[in-house]
Structure 1
Amino acid sequence: MLERMSFRWVSIWFLCALLWACTPASTEVREPAPTPTAISPTPTAALITPTPRPPLDATLRQQIFTEVWTTINEHYLDPTFNGVDWARVRAEYGARALAAEDDASFFAVISAMVRLLRDDHSRFVPPQAVIAEDQLTRGREEQVGIGVSTLPLSDGLLIQHVFPDSPAARAGLQPRDRIVAIDGLSFNLGSIEGPLGSSVRLLIVQPEGDSRELELIRERVEGRIEPLIRRLSDDVAYVGISTLWVNDMHEQVATALQRLMAERPLRGVILDLRSNPGGWRDVLSGLLGHFVTGDVGAFISRKGATPLVVTARNPDLRGLPLVILVDRGTASYAELLAAVLQQEAQATVIGRPSAGNTETIYAYEITGGARLWVAQEVFRLNDGSDLEGKGVQPDIQPSSDWTRFRFEADPWIALALDRIREVR
């Protein structure tokens, strides 16, 4: 779901819109497009239950449509809108939106309009989907299910995290187990989530090749997404980060690294960004600060260039041998993290070329609880290159498939350890 999220913005526009919605229909009120203002997400420990919303009337539909169209018109990275006649789109899709049969159809029209831009970044998020986005922002996976987070692959759902005291944990499921069937159906036709107290049958294939079937009862589960950090042989730190979307991920990493350093010094670092979809700019900057400082590149928009200036963070790992693991699922700010360290810290990159999906998107809160993500910037490295459409190019490309191995037998990690020994 969670695509290339870089900055989170909220606007005073939402309050203005609520007041506007209470204004008599005969009163004409014109407001500018939403103006972003940075905020910090607020953590919550409770499972969020969607609040029923009254149907949108014609006035609110017009307001929402105008906000979305105007925001893209003013802020989209490409002033030609990838060759789309954006003025014509306003007339055509405005009529469709107002004529939509119900709210779901209305939001579908808005989404279709944004997709006309033909990029993998900009998108419209209806109100109910915004709730799920915000839960992940807080670093919490909240579900009625079995208590795992998964990575969809071509032949199954690869388990990335197993949450403590969950049905999955009690059944002995482990990271890198693969769910290949759900309730007798292919994994992509079934769902591990469902009604509270309902049962779900799973076919699990383990990295060792063994398979087993089990039946679990769905529970309400809340788990925290955390980095995997441990000391490997030769005092090499392994830092596995599955997402930069958790707003305190850099703080979690710093705290764990400080604990390792307090035991005894480190002699190298493996930074695992495989299948990391990116996340917050603050997290990117915070992680970079362990390895590099200063001006490491710039974000380019229609308004000009904004340098990315990194400040040092504790612990200071500059000068240590550094290896980064990436694959095709490494995207957005995770790609920038790898590319900057490859160029500025002489890190060795092992894996597959990354996604090449690096445009920075900004979020605008839209009337009625919806959200609009708009591509507004590209990042340019200090050598003048960018990653869009190209991705990070590894220095070493293994032939093995890392998803087929347990962590302890992962051949990519073994290669990374060998590389650190070579350069020390």
Structure 2
Amino acid sequence: MVISRSKLVIGATTILVATVTLTGAGIHWSKSQAFFQESPKELIDEVWQIIDRSYVDATFNQVDWQAVRLEYLGKPYGNQEEAYTAVREMLEQLDDPYTRFMDPQEFKDMQIDTSGELTGVGIQLSQDEETDELVVVSPIEDTPAFEAGILSKDVIIKIDGQSTEGMDVNDAVQLIRGPVNSQITLTIRRGEEELDFSMVRARIEIHPVRYEYRTEAGQPPIGYIRLTQFSANAAEEMREAINDLQSQQVEGFVLDLRSNPGGLLYASIDIASMWMDSGTIVSTVDRKGIVDEEKANNRALTDLPLVILVDGGSASASEILSGALQDNHRAELVGTQTFGKGLVQSVRPLGDGSGLAVTIAKYLTPSGRDINKEGIAPDEVLELSEEQREFLGENRDAIGTLEDPQYSKALEILKGQIDQGSRAASQ
């Protein structure tokens, strides 16, 4: 199975930002667009064929996919919008929230491998499979949603006063997006409370890696690295962070993956290779049972002790990275159970400028764990109290400091690893 790296995404969510970057196939759409607009059934059949060839489950989640084709190609369609509705109805039968159709505007707006400027509020949004509620996986740092105080696990119940009950995630995305400098109000349910958050949509430049040299009292010097998403420039920025911190003679690292919703599959593989010299990173399994195994390539940048922070907002590519380092005994994980998204999507351009994200494989951690819907359990479980969550939500500068209980625990474990290494070296 050969898939362009730029089209392989494993993010858990819909990201409410827009990018002007399209995949390369878009440059040849102009002639075919007219054809597909004149023959909307061709679009329906194109989507059906892609699913038929590549969907991860050969039973199509117990759906008679041949019967679906006969049903939808047997109907008349007067225009493209009717065809779009039919495509979405077809895909709904798969009961897979990650396989979805995007009309041309939605496709243009989808973040795939952005490395530049985005427009939006900066929310990673998912739809609860049981309740259909719109749930925030996490806000992207330094975006309107982040600054407003929206938190992971918040439930969006209204968008500018409009109820989201029964609303599809794609419809919610379109309501939340809008022009730069325009106002939007999201009504959030958090526990038993209902809260209104007013934000101004913005153009956002995202740098996924932030790092700092730390010398806490009584502690050895360490490097703190926060990775917020696995975008196209994540690996390059991670490499710079590790090399710079090592040049400052740190003795260990804390890698913070909390509220990181994922992104590009190969970004997680590249970053894992920076921390481990050998061993399996991840295995992918498609509908034919073929296992594509990615291994470390003896190019690790450091062998210093490492502790990773994770939580319920750590999803997908975050779980690949943390699962690889945990299974290979390269790092200890601190925090809470991760999100549990073990599926890989390929994003395909369609003939009329629309697009299709289709689940093509599942992934397993090096020990063979299928973490979909289960997540990864940390080595050291530390739940934040509601008061601690609220404090960190209101005081973002305290995240990754001694006022952050999970960071403090990671620092304690890291110091133990460093001290143990020093004792071993002196014997």
Corresponding residue pairs, total:
362
Q: Percent identity?
A: 22
Question: Which residue number corresponds to residue 128 of structure 1?
Answer: 105
Deviation at 1:81, TM superposition (A): 0.9
**Residues 306-345 of structure 1: matches in 2 within 5 Å?**
306-313=292-299, 316-318=301-303, 320-345=304-329
Gaps of 5+ in 1: 24-54, 205-211
Return the match for 2:234 from 236, 245, 249: 249
Deviation at 1:358, TM superposition (A): 1.0
Deviation at 1:83, TM superposition (A): 0.5
Question: Which residue number corresponds to residue 149 of structure 2?
Answer: 177
Question: Which residue number corresponds to residue 277 of structure 1?
Answer: 261
SS at 2:364 equivalent: strand
Matched AA of 2:283: A
Q: CA RMSD of the aligned region, Å?
A: 4.0
Question: Which residue number corresponds to residue 16 of structure 2?
Answer: none
Change (3 A) 1:107 1:358: same
SS at 1:161 equivalent: coil
Rounded to whole Å, the distance in 2 between the matches of 1:413 and 1:110 is 46
CA deviation profile, 1:363-406 (whole Å, cap 9, x unmatched) = 22111112212222222333333222322111222131564313
Rounded to whole Å, the distance in 2 between the matches of 1:337 and 1:301 is 20
1:286–1:313 Cα contact (<8 Å) kept: no
Correspondence 1:4 to 2:10: yes
Return the match for 1:162 from 134, 142, 146: 142
Return the match for 1:56 from 6, 22, 37: 37
Change (3 A) 1:248 1:360: same
1:291–1:317 Cα contact (<8 Å) kept: yes
Question: Which residue number corresponds to residue 139 of structure 1?
Answer: 115
Matched AA of 2:37: L
Return the match for 1:259 from 244, 254, 271: 244
Return the match for 1:385 from 362, 369, 382: 369
CA deviation profile, 1:336-382 (whole Å, cap 9, x unmatched) = 11111001134211222222211111122111112212222222333
Correspondence 1:415 to 2:409: yes
1:122–1:373 Cα contact (<8 Å) kept: yes
Deviation at 1:12, TM superposition (A): 5.8
1:293–1:311 Cα contact (<8 Å) kept: yes
Change (3 A) 1:200 1:317: same
Rounded to whole Å, the distance in 2 between the matches of 1:89 and 1:183 is 34
Correspondence 1:108 to 2:73: no
Return the match for 2:54 from 66, 70, 75: 75
Gaps of 5+ in 2: 1-7, 13-20, 127-133, 166-171, 189-194, 393-397, 419-427
Change (3 A) 1:142 1:334: same
SS at 2:269 equivalent: helix
Rounded to whole Å, the distance in 1 between the matches of 2:362 and 2:411 is 33
Q: TM-score, normalised by structure 1?
A: 0.72
1:141–1:225 Cα contact (<8 Å) kept: no
SS at 2:274 equivalent: coil
Rounded to whole Å, the distance in 2 between the matches of 1:279 and 1:333 is 6
Matched AA of 1:413: Y
Deviation at 1:185, TM superposition (A): 5.6
Change (3 A) 1:256 1:126: same
Question: Which residue number corresponds to residue 91 of structure 1?
Answer: 70
Change (3 A) 1:118 1:214: closer
Rounded to whole Å, the distance in 1 between the matches of 2:11 and 2:185 is 34
CA deviation profile, 1:234-259 (whole Å, cap 9, x unmatched) = 32222211211x11111011112222
Rounded to whole Å, the distance in 1 between the matches of 2:118 and 2:88 is 25
Change (3 A) 1:223 1:14: closer
2:262–2:315 Cα contact (<8 Å) kept: yes
- Is the deviation greater in 366-375 or in 305-314? 305-314
